[in-house]
Amino acid sequence: MKNIEMLKPVEAHLNVLSEATILARYLCGHKDNLSQAVDLLDAIHNTAKFIQKPFCKNSEYIALYYESYDKKWKNFGISLVEIYKSSDPEITDF
């Protein structure tokens, strides 16, 4: 059972990667949105590495990357933190 609990944050990060990639693909097709696309890709570019080998606490990672993006762009697309949270309401490690 503990292994399943350990996978929940991984699944949440993968959901963020999936949704962010879809949005980035859209944003890159419109020159007016390139600044947001760059910020979005900056917010997620370390996520795969973090999943594989965490280099800080999960809450620190979310604050450093996802919350930073959300502060600037949340009203213009998606909220990375909300995607993470909605992946499993029982996740409380942020």
pLDDT of residue 54: 94
Q: How many Å apart are CA 61 and CA 24, to the nearest integer?
A: 20
Tell me the pLDDT tens digit for each residue of 20-53: 999 999 999 999 999 999 999 999 999 999 999 9
pLDDT of residue 8: 87
Burial class of residue 20 in the structure, from the number of CB atoms within 10 Å of its CB (0-12 exposed, 13-18 middle, 19+ buried) = buried
* pTM, to two decimals: 0.89
Pick the more confident residue, 59 or 94: 59
Smallest Cα–Cα separation from 24: which of 7, 47, 57, 49? 47
pLDDT of residue 91: 72
Phi-psi region of 34 (alpha: psi -120 to 50; beta: other; left: phi over 0): alpha
Q: Domains of the chain: which residue ranges?
A: 2-86
pLDDT of residue 45: 96
3 pLDDT above the threshold of 70: no
pLDDT of residue 94: 63
Phi-psi region of 72 (alpha: psi -120 to 50; beta: other; left: phi over 0): alpha
1 pLDDT above the threshold of 50: no
Amino acid, res. 18: S
